[in-house]
Structure 1
Amino acid sequence: MPTVVDFSPNHLLVFAREPVLGRVKTRLAVDIGPEAALAVYRELLGLTATAVAAAQVPATVWLAEAPAGADPAAPRPEWPGLPWRVQPAAESLGERMSHAFGEAFAAGAARAVIIGTDCPGLTPALLRAAFEALNAHDVVVGPADDGGYYLLGLRELQPALFANKNWSTATVLPDTLADAARLGLSVAQLPMLHDVDSGRDLATWRGSSNQ
Structure 2
Amino acid sequence: MTTLIVMAKECVPGRVKTRLHPPLSLADAARLAQACLDDTVARTRAVGERRVLCLQGSLPPIAGFAQVPQVPGDLDERIGAVLDQVRGPVLLIGMDTPQVDPVLLQRLATEWPRDVDAWFGPAADGGFWLLGLSELPGRSRGDLVRGVPMSRSDTGRNTRDRLVRAGLRVRDVPELSDIDDISSLRVVAREVDPAGRVASVLRELRREGALDGVVVPRGGLVARRGAEVA
Q: Report Cα offsets for 1:88-125 as digits up to 9, x if no partner.
A: 112x21111111011102xxxx2011111000221211
1:112 is aligned to 90
Q: Does 1:127 align with 2:110?
A: no
- Asked whether the 8 Å contact 1:32–1:199 carries over to 2, the reply is no
1:4 is aligned to none
1:146 is aligned to 125
Q: Partners in 2 of 1:20 and 1:113 — Cα distance? A: 26
Q: Taking structure 2 as the reference length, what is the TM-score of the superposition?
A: 0.75
Does 191-200 or 133-142 show the bigger shift?
Answer: 133-142
Q: Partners in 2 of 1:87 and 1:153 — Cα distance? A: 18
Shift of 1:56: 5.1
State the number of aligned residues.
189
Q: Does 1:175 align with 2:158?
A: yes
1:194 is aligned to 177
Q: Does 1:158 align with 2:141?
A: yes
2:197 is aligned to none
Does 129-138 or 19-28 show the bigger shift?
Answer: 129-138
Paired amino acid for 2:104: L
Q: Does 1:52 align with 2:44?
A: yes
Q: Partners in 1 of 2:107 and 2:128 — Cα distance? A: 16
Aligned-residue RMSD, C-alpha: 2.0
Q: Partners in 2 of 1:181 and 1:114 — Cα distance? A: 18
In the superposition, relative to structure 1, how do residues 133 and 188 fare at CA in structure 2: closer, same or farther (>3 Å)?
farther
Q: Partners in 1 of 2:36 and 2:100 — Cα distance? A: 10
Shift of 1:134: 5.6
1:19 is aligned to 11
Q: Partners in 1 of 2:125 and 2:70 — Cα distance? A: 24
Shift of 1:30: 4.1
Shift of 1:181: 1.9
Q: Taking structure 1 as the reference length, what is the TM-score of the superposition?
A: 0.81
Q: Which runs of 5+ in 1 are unaligned?
A: 1-8, 71-75
Q: Partners in 1 of 2:79 and 2:38 — Cα distance? A: 22
1:210 is aligned to 217
Identity %: 29
In the superposition, relative to structure 1, how do residues 56 and 166 fare at CA in structure 2: closer, same or farther (>3 Å)?
closer
In the superposition, relative to structure 1, how do residues 134 and 47 fare at CA in structure 2: closer, same or farther (>3 Å)?
farther
Q: Report Cα offsets for 1:176-196 as digits up to 9, x if no partner.
A: 121122122100111111101
Shift of 1:141: 1.0
Structure 1 residue ranges (4+ consecutive) displaced by more than 4 angstroms after TM superposition: none
Q: Partners in 1 of 2:56 and 2:2 — Cα distance? A: 23
Does 30-39 or 114-123 show the bigger shift?
Answer: 30-39
- Asked whether the 8 Å contact 2:127–2:153 carries over to 1, the reply is yes
Shift of 1:54: 3.3
Q: Which runs of 5+ in 2 are unaligned?
A: 192-215, 219-230
